[in-house]
Chains A and B, each alone.
Chain A
Amino acid sequence: MIEFSHLYKTYPGPIHALKNIDLSIDKGEFVFLTGPSGAGKTTLFKMLSAYDRPTSGQIQVAGFDLASLNQTSVAQFRRRVGVVFQDFKLLKDRTVFDNVALPLVVRGDRPSHIQNRVEDILDQVGLLAKADQLPDFISGGEQQRTAIARALVHQPGVLIADEPTGNLDPRLSEEIMDLLERVCAQGTTVFVATHDHSMVKARKHRTIELLHGQVVAGARP
């Protein structure tokens, strides 16, 4: 499902954010990504979600070769994945509802279907009451849950979540992790970056560890 080989990402500087990454993740797996701040977790997710292009190497995801996407195929690929960005990336001039609806709107779903589907997912993340609020007028945790809802609303084959519980209290964190596990149980491959070691320990999923841009544990299942 997900396959990295000899992947490098170097930022201007040069900063070697990722060095020779070799990874494979099966369809339907639930995987944690851990590592200290600056280890390269977000960078790895950016490569994986076609947010940015690698400097060299290969990534295959769901049949797409991410190193050779053009403007049309990159949009098609992105419709197949759900991403919770570390900085949420919500549109400030649109309501929670409209933000969450975006992945359905861009693929041209019927309004009635969008309405049902968005309400359903907002209910699951506990945000139905905030549907008509603008992102600036809800809490950090609520923004984070909006981002999670947007990543899940179109039932993607792959869910990539960069610290999805970073701003949540322990009870909400547990609820969100339960939700992600349910999504995984329905066949979605889930890849979650986190600093929360107690959660990693408690949940007993495969864990990949990054350090200084290199995989130091969990490269193969």
Chain B
Amino acid sequence: MKRYFVHLLTSLRHHTGLVLATMIVLTASFFVSGSLVLVGQNLDRVLTLWGESLQMSVYLKEGTTSEQVQALQGRLQKDKRVAKAAFVDRREALTHFQEQMASYAPDLLNDEQLLKFIPESLQVQISQSVSSILQMKVLQELAGELGQEPTVESVSYGQDWVKTYSSIVATVSKAGMWMIVLILAAAGFVISNSVSSSIHQRKNEIEVLELVGASKWMIRGPYLFEGFFMGALSGFLALLVLAAGFETIQNFLRGELAFLQLSHHLQFFGAAHAGLFVLASGAVGFLSSAFSLRKLNDGWAASKAGQEA
């Protein structure tokens, strides 16, 4: 183990520039990949949250006539922002309510008297043509307008668009995955290039080790360790930058965008995911190192020395 660290320090001393450049490329690509994963995770959370609230129940005042209901419904149907405005009468609402509350107070719910207390309502869905970022605003706007209506008692949000949103999230995360694969492949290529030039600078050492009969793994071990260590360290740095960025965005959300009420719904990676992220970064470094070594350390490095240079 000590041998590996000595090798690492030697490497750092001799090719400081190269090691740093590689680390920067690695950190940057791990940062982008990490951001994508993080955004994906939180998008999922936020869209689900929004999806749940992107509907509203417009409760009507006691004694509203069916003509008034139809007039309001008709106006809403024509509104570009609205996809659907469905009337829910007392009995329907009660059934729904009973279904939801059955386990809490079964006796109470059988009481027909309850019907009097249940208001009639319109269930309003926001049009899908409104972009998901704006839907929240539209909802607030519309709720404000409806609150002014003489026939409207109160307005409340909440229904389930989860299905629509989960399909959006699925698409987004699929695209994100492909992007990560692409970025990691590109990073792997860059690292492999730079590791292989580092290896070529130490060709002499590999040659001599081969010539005194060092086994394949004895020669490769320190380089693989170096690759892993550089990858893992870059992953760790990327994570730190990511955490800082995340905190900044959180502060922004708590400040100017507080009305979105997002900040407490966003989450950074947990310990397990963070660990996994660092390990995966190490694996990328390890693999690119292994790839570069395979070509040079085949037992005959010394005999090829003159030919490539």
Contacts and interface: CB of A to CB of B under 8 A. Distances in A.
Nearest to A69: B299
Contact of B211 (A51, A71, A107): A51
A69 B213 CA distance: 13
Interface string A76-106: 1111100101000111110000000011001
Contact of A106 (B209, B299, B302, B303): B209
Nearest to A108: B218
A145 B287 CA distance: 40
Interface centre among B10, B208, B212, B216 (most CB of A within 10 A): B212
Given A71-B298, A93-B10, A107 B213 contact: yes
Given A91-B204, A91-B205, A93-B10, A106 B300 contact: no
A90 B14 CA distance: 17
Nearest to A79: B213
B214 interface: yes
A53 B204 CA distance: 19
Contacts of A72: 215-216
B205 A106 contact: no
A49 B208 CA distance: 13
B207 interface: yes
Contact of B212 (A46, A76, A78): A78
Given A71-B298, A89-B207, A102-B208, A46 B213 contact: no
A123 interface: no
Contact of B303 (A53, A75, A89, A91): A53
Interface size grouping (class) on chain A: 20 to 34
B226 interface: no
Nearest to B216: A71
B120 interface: no
A150 B208 CA distance: 11
B300 A52 contact: yes
B204 A75 contact: no
A53 to B, nearest CB: 7
Nearest to A101: B212
B44 interface: no
Contact of A75 (B10, B207, B216, B302): B216
A174 B300 CA distance: 34
A116 interface: no
A66 B278 CA distance: 45
Contacts of A90: 208
A68 interface: no
Contacts of A74: 210, 299-300
A150 B299 contact: no
A11 to B, nearest CB: 9
Contacts of A139: none
B300 A75 contact: no
Nearest to B297: A71
Interface in A39-65: 46, 49, 51-53
Contact of A46 (B14, B205, B298, B303): B303
B296 to A, nearest CB: 12
A198 interface: no
Contact of A51 (B205, B214, B302, B307): B302
A78 B213 contact: yes
Contacts of B14: 93
Contacts of A89: 207-208, 211, 302
A70 interface: yes
A96 to B, nearest CB: 14
A22 B10 CA distance: 45
Nearest to B304: A52
Interface string B156-198: 0000000000000000000000000000000000000000000
Contacts of A52: 300, 302-303
A80 B213 CA distance: 9
B208 A75 contact: no
Contacts of B303: 46, 51-53
Nearest to A81: B213
B213 A103 contact: yes
Contacts of B213: 75-80, 103, 106-107
A106 B212 contact: yes
A112 to B, nearest CB: 16
Contacts of A80: 213
B12 to A, nearest CB: 13
Please list the 4 inter-chain residue pairs (A to B) with the smallest Cβ-Cβ separation, ordered nearest first: A52-B303, A79-B213, A78-B213, A71-B299
Interface of B: 10, 14, 204-205, 207-216, 218, 298-300, 302-303, 307
5 contacts: A52-B303, A93-B10, A93-B14, A106-B215, A106-B218
Given A93-B205, A102-B212, 12 more contacts: A49-B211, A53-B300, A53-B303, A72-B215, A75-B210, A75-B214, A76-B213, A79-B213, A80-B213, A85-B211, A89-B207, A150-B212
